[in-house]
Structures are given as C-alpha cells and as structure tokens.
C-alpha cells in the first residue's frame, strides 16, 4: 500500500497550475464575459485589460447584459469544469487537480462577486441594481444569493477535493497545500497585473485584490472543514504532483503575457 507521505506535491508545479487557472478564469470574466458579450450585442469594445473592460453600447438592456456577463461567464466555466471533472474519477493527475482548482475558483469568484456587490455596494452587480427601489432589498438579495452560492461552492469544492487527499495522517496538510498555495500565488498574479492598469489605483483593490484575495478567500481556510464527518477520509492513495516542465513553461509564458501585456491592457 502506498503511504501518503510517499506521494509528493511539487510546489513549483503547484504554483504553475495556479497561475494558469487564475489567468484563465480572469480572461473568461473580462475577455469572454464582458468583452465577448460587448461585441456580440453590437457594442464597441474600447478597452480591455487584466482587470477591466470598457464597452460602448446603446440600450439599457444591452448594457446590463454586458455588465452581468463577466460573472455569468465564470459560472459557465465553473459548471463546464465540473462536468469534465466528473469524467476524471479514478485518475490522480495534475490535469484533474487543475480542473478542480479552475472549477472552484470560478464558482467562488462568481458567487463572491454577488456577495461583495450586495454588502459593499461596489462592482458590476452594484451598478446593475443602482437606481432600483427599494435599493436595500436588491442589495440584500444579492448578498443572500452570494452568501448561499459561496457556501455551495465551498461544499462542492471540498467534496471534489476530498478524493485527492487520501486518508493518511497528513491528509489535512495535503489539502491545505493544494488550496492555500494556489490562493497566494493567484492573488499575487492578479495584484501584479492590476498594478499596471492605466485607469486607477482603485481598480487594484476593487477588481484585482477583491477577486483574488477576497473572492477566492475560501481557498485559504475551507480545507479545515474536511475534519467534519461529512467529508470522511478515503482509503485510496492521494494525488501526487511531480515536477512538470510543461506546466512551469506554460505558467511562465502565461504570467508574462498576463502581467506585462494584459496588465496595461489594450485600447481599441
């Protein structure tokens, strides 16, 4: 029988997988969600960066759709990753782990955006409910939906992570490693890219830090819940992540493009 201590997790490869997952989730939100919808409804995409998109579009309905599309794109990406992840049962590979992280990240950021907009009255969804009365009710609905959805994302994330961490004495430590290291790496990536944005330093807080350190904050603590009886330890061997030059090279290229090119962004 393979002991969990024999199943190593290469930290450099783990960081590399996180960089790819975080960058892709961001591109889906800003590029596919806001930017793609802007073009699809006949608007003019005037600017796009790692942390914002600007769209000139006529019509209140079209503008609302563009505004909502970033979060909706994250939900779509998370659901798609979940469906693919279901086909990976029995496989302990870095690809399966990537799908888990990508799914969890998109769902946490999407539901966290609802919660953030409802509580702080800032961001895309705050703009969508601005002017609607009673305003407090719309904010409360956003906060409640966001909170419930966020908890649902945590539960799904833990249920799909649990089979990857085995049942040895280091089970919780392995879970923390697989969750906390990507959280820190992704947060640094977002803030580094956000620091180059040409619009406002405030965007670093509202978009970059809020989406990474805020929206994905459950990654920093949710693995403690694996001690609960709802998540029993498995008898199978845990996931091992070996040093992968492929993941590292992909992450290096991704980081350079994301920070140095998409950080300052484009104006069209």
Residue 5 confidence class, pLDDT cut points 50, 70, 90: very low
The residue-averaged pLDDT of 222-250 equals 95
- Return the beta strands (E) in 71-201 as ranges: none
pLDDT higher for 122 or 109? 109
Residue 198 pLDDT more than 90? no
Residue 263 pLDDT more than 80? yes
Q: Say how many C-beta atoms besides its own lie within 10 A of residue 61's C-beta.
A: 9
pLDDT at 235: 84
Residue 200 confidence class, pLDDT cut points 50, 70, 90: confident
Residue 1 pLDDT more than 70? no
pLDDT at 122: 85
pLDDT at 90: 84
Radius of gyration of the chain (CA): 19
Dist. CA 236–CA 104, nearest whole Å: 22
Dist. CA 252–CA 232, nearest whole Å: 37
Helix, strand or coil for residue 170? coil
The residue-averaged pLDDT of 3-17 equals 81
The residue-averaged pLDDT of 223-232 equals 96
Residue 205 pLDDT more than 90? no
Dist. CA 260–CA 104, nearest whole Å: 26
Dist. CA 92–CA 64, nearest whole Å: 42
Residue 212 confidence class, pLDDT cut points 50, 70, 90: confident
For the segment 13-61, what is each residue's pLDDT rounded down to a tens digit?
Answer: 999 999 999 999 999 999 999 999 999 999 999 999 988 899 999 999 9
Residue with structure tokens 């790692």? 50
Dist. CA 62–CA 38, nearest whole Å: 8
Helix, strand or coil for residue 169? coil
Dist. CA 27–CA 211, nearest whole Å: 13
Contact 190, 209 (CB under 8 A): yes
Residue percentage of the chain with pLDDT more than 90: 83
Q: 8 — phi, psi (to 5°)?
A: -80, 155
The residue-averaged pLDDT of 116-141 equals 93
The residue-averaged pLDDT of 68-73 equals 97
Residue 123 pLDDT more than 90? no
Bridge partner residues of 1 (DSSP): none
pLDDT higher for 254 or 234? 254
For the segment 153-188, what is each residue's pLDDT rounded down to a tens digit?
Answer: 999 999 999 999 999 899 999 999 999 999 999 999
């Amino acid at each position: 029988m393979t002991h969990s201590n024999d199943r190593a997790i290469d930290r450099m490869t783990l960081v590399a997988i996180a960089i790819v997952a975080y960058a892709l989730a961001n591109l889906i939100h800003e590029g596919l969600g806001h930017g793609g919808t802007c073009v699809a409804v006949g608007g003019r995409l005037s600017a796009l960066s790692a942390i914002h998109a600007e769209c000139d579009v006529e019509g209140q309905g079209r503008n609302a759709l563009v505004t909502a599309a970033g979060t909706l794109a994250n939900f779509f990406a998370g659901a798609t990753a979940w469906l693919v992840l279901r086909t990976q049962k029995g496989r302990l590979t870095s690809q399966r782990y990537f799908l888990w992280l990508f799914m969890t990240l998109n769902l946490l950021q999407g539901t966290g955006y609802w919660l953030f907009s409802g509580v702080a009255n800032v961001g895309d969804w705050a703009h969508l409910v601005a002017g609607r009365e009673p305003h407090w009710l719309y904010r409360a609905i956003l906060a409640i939906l966001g909170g419930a959805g966020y908890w649902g994302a945590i539960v799904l994330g833990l249920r799909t992570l649990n089979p990857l961490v085995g049942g040895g004495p280091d089970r919780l430590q392995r879970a923390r490693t697989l969750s906390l290291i990507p959280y820190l790496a992704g947060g640094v990536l977002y803030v580094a890219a956000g620091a180059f944005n040409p619009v406002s330093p405030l965007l670093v807080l509202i978009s970059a830090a809020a989406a990474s350190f805020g929206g994905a904050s459950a990654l920093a603590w949710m693995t403690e819940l694996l001690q609960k009886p709802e998540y029993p330890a498995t008898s199978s061997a845990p996931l091992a992540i070996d040093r992968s030059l492929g993941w590292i090279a992909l992450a290096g290229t991704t980081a350079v493009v994301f920070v140095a090119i998409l950080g300052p962004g484009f104006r069209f």
